[in-house]
Amino acid sequence: MPELPHGWRMRNSAGEVEGPPPEDDYSDSGSEEPFDIKPDSEGWDDVEDDSEPVSIQCLLTDEKFPSAKAMIEHCKDKLGFDFVAIQQQHKLDFYSSIKLVNYIRAEVKAGKEKPDVSDPTLWADDKYLQPTLEDDALLFGLDELDDTPLAVDGDDAEAGDERKA
């Protein structure tokens, strides 16, 4: 009969065969209890979080922000550049929004303070799917902007509700 691995058991018409007991029975470790590996147990305080703080560069300047929403609000309030309104005006999907971000960054890099965003064909080229800014955190934070409530006034509020329906 073949020797079975630790903790295995085999039954057939000829009978039953058991392998040696599992090696992890803690009987020879000197400890009567297994290790406590719960996150709130002792010793976990020194484990460092691998995540790095997010830093999103402004679309038009070198200023950094902790979130996409904070950066977008800065662009709108301080620079008069409303990225969300541009997305809505041109009915941009996720990939078109990525192209728009990379187009804006490329134009700013080329020296234009406020890029022309009036015509979506300007950023329609697939080359704008490649990040202009290395490790651009904004590209990962674009989905965060989908949650941004639209600021609408009076009669426009009803029209906004109809568009969502």
- Is 141 domain-assigned? yes
- Is 96 domain-assigned? yes
**Chain segment 4-37, per-residue pLDDT in tens:** 777 788 788 888 888 787 765 555 555 555 565 6
- Block residue for tokens 């509020």: 157
Band (155; pLDDT cuts 50, 70, 90): very low
Q: Name which of 83, 76, 75, 149 is nearest 157 in CA terms.
A: 149
Report the b/e string of 79-94 with b at 16+ CB within 10 A. eebbbbebbeebebee
pTM: 0.60
Q: Name which of 104, 97, 107 is nearest 148 in CA terms.
A: 97
Query: What domain count does the chain have?
Result: 1
d(CA 151, CA 77): 13
- Is 16 domain-assigned? no
Residue 25 CA: distances (Å) to CA of 4, 36, 114, 119: 17, 15, 68, 69
- Is 7 domain-assigned? no
d(CA 90, CA 109): 23
pLDDT, averaged across the chain: 79
- Is 165 domain-assigned? no
| pLDDT for the residue 150 | 43
d(CA 71, CA 82): 11
| pLDDT for the residue 37 | 65
**Chain segment 95-137, per-residue pLDDT in tens:** 999 999 999 999 999 999 899 999 999 999 999 999 999 999 9
Mean of pLDDT values over 135-145: 87
Please say whether the beta carbons of 106 and 131 come within 8 A.
Answer: no
- Is 51 domain-assigned? no
- Is 97 domain-assigned? yes
pLDDT of 53 strictly over 80: no
**Chain segment 58-100, per-residue pLDDT in tens:** 999 999 999 999 999 999 999 999 999 999 999 999 999 999 9
pLDDT of 159 strictly over 60: no
Full residue range of the structural domain in which residue 119 is found: 56-146
pLDDT of 140 strictly over 80: yes
| pLDDT for the residue 165 | 42
Three-class SS state of 145: helix
- Is 12 domain-assigned? no
